[in-house]
Structure 1
Amino acid sequence: MDESQEYTRYRQDAAVLAEIGRFLGPQVTRLTVRLSRDLAGTAIAAWERDEEGEVGRETPEQARVRDRAASLALIGLAVSDRGVASGDEVVVELDVTEVAAALLAAYDEDVIPLES
């Protein structure tokens, strides 16, 4: 099936976006963030959980949900390794990819509305 001109441009745009990411990657590696103790604890629990069984065939939506669960677990690893309690919060340096994953999930779930 032939692709429309718009999708050909979108693929080119996606390639340029990836190149921008390659350029920015070395510049922005970690960000210091604050999480509530409850969220930090839930992330740690996700990291410590043993997932048994193999991943079988997945729908794209199931793969997206599993990927997000993995991102939460990696945040939990960061919190358990580098997190410092500060009152009702935990301060931790997260990899920019972990921050991006959390923000994308929040936008997708409409927890953070897109600004117009």
Structure 2
Amino acid sequence: MGEGAQYARYRGDAEVLARIGTHVAEQVGPITVRIPRTVADAAVAAWNRDELEDLDDETPAQAELRDRAATLALIGLAITERGVPDGDDLVLDLEVTDLGAAIRAAQSAADPRV
């Protein structure tokens, strides 16, 4: 099945979005955030977990889910390395890309169409 004109436009839009990202990435750095300890502990557990099973062919939805799990694990690593306890929370600097992924996951959980 060929790509229709609408998807060709979407592909062009995605390329423009990537160019915006290139310029924005040069302007932003890590952001200090506060994460509840229970959530931080779950992220650290994801980092410490070994995934030893071979993956079969993935659907796009499964690949996205695995990507989100990997991002969570990397946040867990950051918490392990740089997290500073502050009451019931942990405070640390996270890369804006990881924060964006977390926000996108929250939006998707609230509205699965996102």
Same fold at TM > 0.5: yes
| Structure 1 stretches of 4+ moved >4 Å | none
Is residue 11 of structure 1 aligned with residue 11 of structure 2? yes
Q: Distance in 2 between matches of 1:26 and 1:77?
A: 24
SS in 2 for 1:50: coil
Classify 1:86/1:11 alpha carbon distance in 2 versus 1 (closer, same or farther; 3 Å).
same
Say yes or no: does 1:65 pair with 2:65: yes
User: Does 2:46 correspond to 1:46?
Assistant: yes
Residue identity opposite 1:8 in structure 2: A
Q: Which residue of 1 aligns with 2:81?
A: 81
Query: Cα distance, 1:2 vs. partner?
Result: 4.7
What amino acid maps onto 1:109 in structure 2? A
Match of 1:96 in 2: 96
Q: In structure 2, give the amino acid aligned to 1:96.
A: V
* Structural RMSD (CA): 1.5
Q: C-alpha distance in 2, partners of 1:86/1:79? A: 13
Task: Tell me by how many angstroms 1:54 deviates.
Answer: 1.9
Q: Normalization by structure 2: what TM-score?
A: 0.89
Stretches of structure 2 that go unaligned for 5 or more consecutive residues are none
Please state how far the C-alpha of 1:9 moved relative to its aligned partner. 2.4
Q: Distance in 1 between matches of 2:92 and 2:43?
A: 12
SS in 2 for 1:29: coil
TM-score norm. by structure 1 comes to: 0.88
Q: Which runs of 5+ in 1 are unaligned?
A: none
Match of 2:34 in 1: 34
Shift in Å at residue 8 of structure 1? Answer: 2.7
- Percent pairwise identity: 50
Q: Give the C-alpha shift of residue 10 in structure 1.
A: 2.2
Q: Deviations over 1:8-31 (max 9, x none)?
A: 322222111100101111221311
- The whole-number CA distance in structure 2 between the counterparts of 1:50 and 1:7 is 38
| AA matched with 2:21 | G
Helix, strand or coil at the partner of 1:92? strand
Cα deviations by residue, 1:31-90 (Å, 9 ceiling, x for unpaired): 111000000011001001111122221111111111111010000000000000011110
